Amino acid sequence: MSATAAAHLRHDWTLAEVKALFEQPFNDLLFQAQSVHRAHFDANRVQVSTLLSIKTGACPEDCKYCPQSGHYNTGLDKEKLLEVQKVLEAAAEAKAIGSTRFCMGAAWKHPSAKDMPYVLEMVKGVKAMGLETCMTLGKLDQEQTAALAEAGLDYYNHNLDTSPEFYGNIITTRTYGERLQTLAYVRDAGMKICSGGILGMGESLDDRAGLLIQLANLPEHPESVPINMLVKVKGTPLAEEQDVDPFDFIRMLAVARIMMPKSHVRLSAGREAMNEQMQALAFFAGANSIFYGEKLLTTANPQADKDMQLFARLGIQPEERQEHADEVHQAAIEQALVEQRDSKLFYNAASA
Binding site for ligand SF4 (CB under 6 A): 59, 61, 63, 66, 68-69, 107, 138
Residue 315 and residue 130: Cα distance in Å, rounded?
A: 26
For ligand SF4, the closer of residues 178 and 206 by Cβ is 178
294 or 307, CB closer to ligand SF4?
294
Minimum distance of ligand SF4 from residue 241's CB (angstroms): 16
Catalytic residue among 66, 101, 208, 257: 66
Q: CB-wise, 32 or 69, nearer to ligand SF4?
A: 69
Catalytic residue among 101, 103, 179, 251: 103
**Looking at 174, 194, 257, 271, which residue is catalytic?**
194
Q: What is the smallest separation between the CB atom of 164 and ligand SF4, expressed in angstroms? A: 17
Catalytic, out of 63, 101, 257, 271? 63
Task: Please tell me the distance from the alpha carbon of residue 27 to that of residue 38, in angstroms, as a whole number.
Answer: 16
Q: Give the ranges where the chain is alpha helix by DSSP (H).
A: 3-6, 15-22, 26-40, 84-96, 116-128, 142-151, 164-167, 176-188, 205-216, 246-259, 276-284, 302-314, 326-341
**Catalytic choice (174, 257, 266, 271):** 266
Please, which residue, 63 or 212, has the CB nearer to ligand SF4?
A: 63
Active-site residue, 266 included? yes
Catalytic residue flag (residue 194): yes
Of 59, 174, 179, 271, the catalytic one is 59
**Are the C-beta atoms of 81 and 100 separated by less than 8 Å?**
no
Determine how many CB atoms are found less than 10 A away from the CB of residue 269: 18
Complex with ligand SF4: residue 66 or 128, whichever CB lies closer: 66
313 by Cβ neighbours in 10 Å (0-12 / 13-18 / 19+) ranks as: exposed
Max intra-chain CA distance, the chain:
60
Give the C-alpha separation, 7 to 292, whole Å: 29
Within 8 A by CB and 6+ apart from 330, the residues are: none
For residues 202 and 136, what is the distance between their CA atoms, to the nearest angstrom?
25
Minimum gap (Å) between residue 106 Cβ and ligand SF4: 8
In the complex, minimum distance from the CB of residue 70 to ligand SF4, in angstroms, rounded to a whole number: 8
- Nearest approach in angstroms of CB 111 to ligand SF4 is 12
Q: Which residues pair with 194 in a beta bridge?
A: 157, 224
Name the helix (H) or strand (E) containing 197: strand 197-199
Q: Compare residues 24 and 74 and give the one whose CB is closer to ligand SF4.
A: 74
CB of 69 to ligand SF4, least distance (A): 4
Catalytic annotation present for 59: yes
**Catalytic site positions:** 59, 63, 66, 103, 134, 194, 266
